[in-house]
């Protein structure tokens, strides 16, 4: 695949004469338009809406009356629409191309889900509406809970956690409550594998536990001998991701559960990668006591952007009595929510949030389940694993798999051994992918693999799209090995912004816009 070498720079300072002798004049590249910040645009003294003069003065507001311009630029409707459309063209999106972030499951969000979530009966609900007026919503939550329990083989589920880390908090709080209920509160240690998601030890520490790391074997799995040696009467739980962050199924998962329970501890499973086994494996059958399910990963609700999210937690029979409120129950007068820690919820550890969870995500996830059916969900897992192994097979000729022996699960993991001597780093390679129109894979994670490149294609990508992706990476890999290091060091060349100092941006972020010194926005015409 030939590299892209067309287009014009989008910053005037980068303008160079093109083949025809014309320098970059507009800042556009093809049909893409350069776009300044909305605050840098002209129009401070105008508004796109005509408002009538106020009939009353503001004398009753006292010193609350605004003394200076509000500080918002004035745009007409076309200007505002074009501004945000142009900004959207600078972002990568799952609707644009494959989004290969490993351990994130960036899959297509079916539009059917969106249509269902926008039905007035779901979209217009209020969390304080009387139960009698929201029976349909409660019924959907009840059915969603039923299928989550069925798919995991677990008897109870808490729907209210808002995301994966929030779900981890829920599971560990239930575990702590269970230990306290049996007079075993002295257990203050949690075991976490080396390759775990960073939220696992962080959540354990947040709950008040100390964290002990479990070693990893050379083939990327939990070291059973090290686990057995570190289990003891002070251990409250272990936290294991399965399939794990290296993209591998923990073959000894049942033995891990047995050793854990034998030591009197509970088994928390990070369910971030449930998408790889949904419909094929029930975590409850493996001895899991608690597991969060990222609805955005396995059941296609929107991912990223800070929410809204949902991370339900399924619980074993041993932990079910300690589940947080609320949950849906059937009564003589229909469905209702158990919201207080009394009666059947007397042992519950409390609440995870003010209300009942994220209704829009519940609707989307349930629509996804119903549209796929049990056989379709099984195929989701099978196709996700097939796609990951296809990428591993396609790229193993030019890149080095971190764990070459045997198949992977939902993601293919490569290290940077193949870049040795090229002068190109994992970061350089990832930045060059942007010039090819692809979002980079997850870089440098998991930390147990040097220069890690973690790719998860998900089940929603076709072979044609996978081939397009692999063709681009193969061509880049050959260019790196051919000694074209300068091309990588400067990448991306065709993106709206060049290589950024990400460390400086993280340490000294500029979160607000300020007008140039000596320049102030003009007051609105109406003032």
The DSSP result for 442-464, as a single string, is EES-STTSTT-EEE---TT--HH
SS3 category, 296 = helix
For residue 41, pLDDT over 60 is answered with: yes
Q: Supply 288's token pair.
A: 């899991």
Going from N- to C-terminal start, the domains of the chain cover 28-52+71-90, 112-368, 374-507
Q: Tell me yes or no: is domain 374-507 CATH 3.90.1150.10.
A: yes
Closest by CA position to 422, among listed 488, 491, 481:
481
**Buried/exposed 148-173: b ≥16 CB within 10 Å, e otherwise:** bbebbebebbbbbbbbbbbbbbbbbb
Please report the pLDDT score of residue 307 as a whole number: 55
Within this chain, domains 112-368 and 374-507 share the same CATH topology: no
The per-residue pLDDT for range 307-324, each reduced to its tens digit, is 568 999 999 999 999 999
Please report the pLDDT score of residue 250 as a whole number: 96
For residue 26, pLDDT over 80 is answered with: no
Handedness of CA 489, 495, 501, 506 (dihedral sign): negative
Q: What mean pLDDT value characterizes the chain?
A: 89
Q: Read off the pLDDT band of 45 (50, 70, 90).
A: confident
What is the spatial distance between Cα 143 and Cα 417, in angstroms, rounded to a whole number?
49
Please report the pLDDT score of residue 308 as a whole number: 67
Closest by CA position to 200, among listed 168, 175, 177, 176:
168
Residue 291 forms beta bridges with which residues? 269, 314
Please report the pLDDT score of residue 1 as a whole number: 37
Please report the pLDDT score of residue 58 as a whole number: 82
Q: Read off the pLDDT band of 59 (50, 70, 90).
A: confident
Q: Supply 277's token pair.
A: 């086994």
- Least confidently predicted of 43-52, 86-95, 370-379, 428-437: 43-52
| Cβ-defined contacts of 325-333 (< 8 Å, 24+) | 325/350, 325/351, 326/160, 326/351, 326/356, 327/145, 327/156, 327/157, 327/158, 327/159, 328/138, 328/141, 328/142, 328/145, 330/142, 333/132
The per-residue pLDDT for range 475-525, each reduced to its tens digit, is 999 999 999 999 999 899 888 878 888 889 999 998 888 877 766 665 544
For residue 284, pLDDT over 90 is answered with: yes
For residue 19, pLDDT over 50 is answered with: no
For residue 8, pLDDT over 80 is answered with: no
How many alpha carbons fall within 13 Å on the CB side of residue 136? 9
For residue 381, pLDDT over 80 is answered with: yes
Q: What is the largest CA-CA distance in the chain?
A: 82
Please report the pLDDT score of residue 520 as a whole number: 62
Higher pLDDT, 216 or 77: 216
Higher pLDDT, 77 or 414: 414
Any idea which fold 112-368 has? 3.40.640
Cα separation values, 10 from 23, 29, 439, 494, Å: 11, 7, 19, 8
Closest by CA position to 71, among listed 519, 511, 522, 510:
522
Asked if residue 492 has a cis previous peptide bond (ω within 30° of 0), the answer is: yes
How many alpha carbons fall within 13 Å on the CB side of residue 424? 27
């Amino acid at each position: 695949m030939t590299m892209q070498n067309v287009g014009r720079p989008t910053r005037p300072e980068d303008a160079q004469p093109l083949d025809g002798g014309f320098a970059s004049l507009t800042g556009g590249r093809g049909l893409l338009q350069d776009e300044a910040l909305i605050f840098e645009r002209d129009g401070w003294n105008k508004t796109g809406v005509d408002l009538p003069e106020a009939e009353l003065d503001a004398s009753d507001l006292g010193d609350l009356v605004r003394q200076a311009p509000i500080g918002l630029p004035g745009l007409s409707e076309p200007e505002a629409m074009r501004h945000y459309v142009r900004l959207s063209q600078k972002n990568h999106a799952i609707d644009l191309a494959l989004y290969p972030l490993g351990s994130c499951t960036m899959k297509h969000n079916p539009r059917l889900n969106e249509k269902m979530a926008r039905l007035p009966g779901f979209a217009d609900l209020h969390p304080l509406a009387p139960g009698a007026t929201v029976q349909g919503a409660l019924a959907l939550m009840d059915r969603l809970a039923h299928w989550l329990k069925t798919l995991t083989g677990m008897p109870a589920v808490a729907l209210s956690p808002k995301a994966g880390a929030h779900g981890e908090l829920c599971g560990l709080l239930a575990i702590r409550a269970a230990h306290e209920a049996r007079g075993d509160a002295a257990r203050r240690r949690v075991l976490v594998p080396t390759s775990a998601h960073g939220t696992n030890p962080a959540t354990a520490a947040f709950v008040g536990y100390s964290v002990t790391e479990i070693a990893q074997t050379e083939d990327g799995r939990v070291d059973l001998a090290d686990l057995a040696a570190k289990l003891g009467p002070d251990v409250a739980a272990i936290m294991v991701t399965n399939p794990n962050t290296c993209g591998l199924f923990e073959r000894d998962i049942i033995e891990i559960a047995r050793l854990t329970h034998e030591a009197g501890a509970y088994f928390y499973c990070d369910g971030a990668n449930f998408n790889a086994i949904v419909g094929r494996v029930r975590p409850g059958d493996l001895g899991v006591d608690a597991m969060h399910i990222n609805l955005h990963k396995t059941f296609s609700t929107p991912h990223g952007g800070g929410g809204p999210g949902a991370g339900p937690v399924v619980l074993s029979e041993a932990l079910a009595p300690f589940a947080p409120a609320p949950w849906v129950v059937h009564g003589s007068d229909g469905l209702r929510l158990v919201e207080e820690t009394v009666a059947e919820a007397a042992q519950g550890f409390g609440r995870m949030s003010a209300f009942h969870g994220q209704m829009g995500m519940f609707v989307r996830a349930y629509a996804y389940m119903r549209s796929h059916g049990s056989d379709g969900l099984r195929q989701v897992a099978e196709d996700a694993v097939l796609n990951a192994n296809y990428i591993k097979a396609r790229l193993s000729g030019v890149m080095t798999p971190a764990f070459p022996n045997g198949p992977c699960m939902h993601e293919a993991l490569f290290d940077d051994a193949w870049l040795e001597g090229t002068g190109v780093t994992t970061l350089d390679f990832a930045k060059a992918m942007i010039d090819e129109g692809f979002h980079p894979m997850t870089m440098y994670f998991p930390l147990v693999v040097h220069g890690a490149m973690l790719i998860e294609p998900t089940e929603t990508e076709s072979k044609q799209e996978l081939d397009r992706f692999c063709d681009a990476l193969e061509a880049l890999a050959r260019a790196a090995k051919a000694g074209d290091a300068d091309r990588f060091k400067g990448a991306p060349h065709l993106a709206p912004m060049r290589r950024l100092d990400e460390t400086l941006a993280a340490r000294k972020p500029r979160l607000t816009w300020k007008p140039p010194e000596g320049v102030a926005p003009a007051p609105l015409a109406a003032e």
